[in-house]
Amino acid sequence: MNRDADIRKVLEAVTDPEIPVISIEELGILREIVQEENSIIIFISPTYSGCPAMDIIAFDIKKAMAEKGYQNVEVKYQLSPAWTTDDISDVGREKLKNYGIAPPEKLMPNENGLFQNEKNPSCPRCNSENTKLISLFGSTPCKSLHQCLDCQEPFDRFKCH
Ligand SMILES: [Zn+2]
């Protein structure tokens, strides 16, 4: 196994501190691994500016790397291109749903190249689209709180852009 693949394998175990079932790779925030002579720089992109989870993720990356013998690891933020919910992989979306969080809709541009408005998130329990927004801020600032009007299930939705 080459070093880059080995590092990726180490990073597969690093998960989002808010959603421990999804890895930073599946979340799409792992951007680039740069190996220099005496150090390794890992670029991640914040899910939204000031997200407190980013510091924890940076810490977890260094810890996971150190456990596998990688020293001198630097974590840098890559702000451009900005992370959007479109960066979440299909596997990641499935995991979010199984975890009880409505995955963000993938936005597709229409024929004019414009993005359609997001529709109501569907309930992760019964798939009903008959849901309403309860609060813009759910259990963490990254999530909004919704409720299903059919089965009454309250659920979080990942809303960071
Ligand atoms: Zn429901």
Residue 133 CA to residue 149 CA, distance in Å, equals: 10
Report d(CA 9, CA 1) in Å as an integer.
10
Same-domain status, 9 and 73: yes
Q: Measured between alpha carbons, how far is 78 from 147 in angstroms, rounded to an integer?
A: 34
Task: Name which of 30-34, 81-85, 147-151, 156-160 the model is least confident about.
Answer: 156-160
Distance in Å, CA 142 to ligand 1 centroid: 21
Residue 158: inside a domain: yes
Q: What is the pLDDT of residue 144?
A: 82
- The overall average pLDDT reported for the chain is 84
Question: Has residue 45 been placed in a domain?
Answer: yes
pLDDT at 101: 86
Tell me, what's the pLDDT at 110? 53
- Residue at 109 is within a domain: no
Provide the residue range defining the domain that includes 13. Answer: 3-77
Tell how far the Cα of 148 is from the centroid of ligand 1, in angstroms. 5
Q: How far is the CA of 100 from the centre of ligand 1 (A)?
A: 11
Kindly state whether residues 128 and 68 are assigned to the same domain.
no
Does residue 55 lie within any of the structural domains?
yes
> How many domains would you assign to the chain?
2
- Measured between alpha carbons, how far is residue 103 from residues 17, 65, 77, 154, 159 in Å? 17, 29, 24, 15, 9
Residue with tokens 């809303």: 159
Q: What is the mean pLDDT of residues 39-46?
A: 93
Is residue 93 in some structural domain? no
Average pLDDT rounded to a whole number, residues 3-24: 90
The rounded Å distance from CA 74 to ligand 1 centre is 43
Position 38 in a domain: yes
What's the 102 CA to ligand 1 centre distance in angstroms? 11
Same domain (yes/no): 69, 134: no
CA dist 1 → 7, 37, 114 (Å): 10, 19, 43
Q: How far is the CA of 107 from the centre of ligand 1 (A)?
A: 23
- Choice between 80 and 141, residue whose per-residue pLDDT is larger: 80
Q: 160: CA distance to ligand 1 center in Å?
A: 22
39 dihedral zone (left: phi>0; alpha: psi -120 to 50; beta): beta
pLDDT cut 90: percent of the chain above it: 45
How many angstroms separate the alpha carbon of residue 81 from the centre of ligand 1?
35
Contact 87, 16 (CB under 8 A): no
pLDDT at 159: 66
* pLDDT reported for residue 118: 54
Q: Is the pLDDT of residue 161 over 50?
A: no
- Name which residue leads in pLDDT, 92 or 160: 92
Q: What is the pLDDT of residues 101-148, one digit of tens each?
A: 887 766 555 555 554 555 678 899 999 989 988 887 777 777 788 999
Give distance in angstroms: CA of 94 to centre of ligand 1: 17
pLDDT at 158 over 90: no
What DSSP string describes 25-53? TTTT-EEEEEE-SS-EEEEE--SSTT-TH
> How far, in Å, is the centroid of ligand 1 from the Cα of 62?
40
Same domain assignment for residues 69 and 126: no
